[in-house]
Amino acid sequence: MTIGLSGIIIKRVLKLDPGGITELQFFSSMSGIKTIIIVTAFILFSNLQPAAAATISLDNTIDMPDRTVTYQGKTYDIQDVGAYSLGETVNITVDATDIKSFQLSLLDKNRNFLWNHMVYYTEGTAEMAMPGGVVTVPGTYAFAVFYQGDILAVKPVVFSKYNLSVMPSNTIVTSGGTLHVKVRVSPDTSLPVRVVLVKNSSSLESSANRTQDGIYDTNIKIPESAYGRFSLYAAIASDNIILGYPELMGISGGGTINVTESLPQAPASGYMMIVAAFLFLIGILFLVLNKIRS
C-alpha cells in the first residue's frame, strides 16, 4: 500500500507474522532532490491508546514546507529536517501526549538501530542528547519515537561532512526575473550540488556549476506566474542510489526569497522624446494656423 502527499510517500513493503518485522520507507522530496529514509520496527501488537501522540524537535533544523501523511489512520507531520556535521552532538526534545514511557531511536538507511534512548514516566516533555560519536558516516538518517510497537513521530536528519553556505544575489525578485545563487562548499566536492526554491508544493530547481574551488553558481528563472514567499535550499546528493533515489550528503537553507509581481514597464526614454517632439510640432502648427486665420 502506498500513500503519497506533496512529495512525501510512506510505503509499506514488508509484513511478517506476529513477532516479525514491518519495514516503512519514507521518501522525502525536495523537488528533484529526494531523501530516502527506511525505518524498521519490531511489531509488539499491543493496543495503542487513541490519544497517544509525540513530536520531535531538534536544536539545529532547516525549515521545510509543511507536509502531512496518513498511514493506517495515523498522521505524521514533517515540518523541518535536522542538519548536523559529523561528530556533532544532537540535542533532542520530545513532547509526548497521553504516554508515560517511550523509546527514541536513530535509524540509518539500512534499517539499523544506531542509538536508542528509553524514557520512563515523563510528564509530557523529555530532553536528551545523542552523543556526536554515534554517526560516523555522512548521509540521511531518521529519529523515530516508538510506543507499544507503533511509530508516533519521525524526524529526518542529515549528517554531513560538508559546510554549505547559500548566498542569493537578492532576497526580492520579480516574477519573470532571474535569481542568481552562489553556493560555497567546504571541503570541495565532486558530487552534484543542487539549488531549489520551494513554496508549498511548487518548486524551482537548478544544478549549480562549479566556477572555482568550493564555489558553485546557478541562475533560477522565475516564472511570470510565480508570486509570494519561497524557501531557498541547497543540497549535495550522493552517487549512492538507493531504490532509485540519491541519498543526501549535505543540506543547507538559504533563507526566504520574496517573489513580487512585475510592474508594467514604463515607456522607453527614446519613445517619450519622440512623443514630446510630436506634441511640440502640433503646438507650433496650431499657432501658425491661428495666425493665418487672423
Query: pLDDT of the chain along its 294 residues, tens only?
Result: 333 333 333 333 333 333 333 333 333 444 445 443 333 333 333 344 457 889 999 999 987 766 775 555 677 777 788 999 999 999 999 999 999 899 999 998 887 999 999 999 888 899 999 999 999 999 989 899 999 988 999 998 999 999 999 999 999 999 999 999 999 999 999 999 999 998 877 788 899 999 999 999 999 999 999 999 999 999 998 888 764 567 889 999 889 999 998 765 555 555 556 655 555 555 555 554 555 555
* Claim to verify: residue 142 and residue 204 sit in the same structural domain: no
In a domain, 282, yes or no: no
> For 123, what's the count of Cα atoms within 13 Å in the CB-facing half-sphere?
0
Sign of the alpha-carbon dihedral angle for 171, 173, 175, 178: negative
Q: Provide the 10 A C-beta neighbour count for residue 137.
A: 12
Cβ atoms 105, 147 nearer than 8 A: no
Cα separation, 43 vs 72, in Å, equals 14
* Claim to verify: residue 12 and residue 142 sit in the same structural domain: yes
* Claim to verify: residue 173 and residue 103 sit in the same structural domain: no
Residue recorded with cell 487672423: 294
Cβ atoms 196, 31 nearer than 8 A: yes
Structural domain boundaries, residue 222: 163-260
The total number of structural domains in the chain stands at 2
Assessment of whether the complete model's pTM goes beyond 0.85? no
* Claim to verify: residue 148 and residue 214 sit in the same structural domain: no
From 113, 174, 175, select the one nearest 141 (Cα to Cα). Answer: 113
Cβ atoms 167, 129 nearer than 8 A: no
* Claim to verify: residue 65 and residue 102 sit in the same structural domain: yes
Domain CATH code at residue 142: 2.60.40.1930
In a domain, 65, yes or no: yes
Three-state DSSP at 22 gives strand
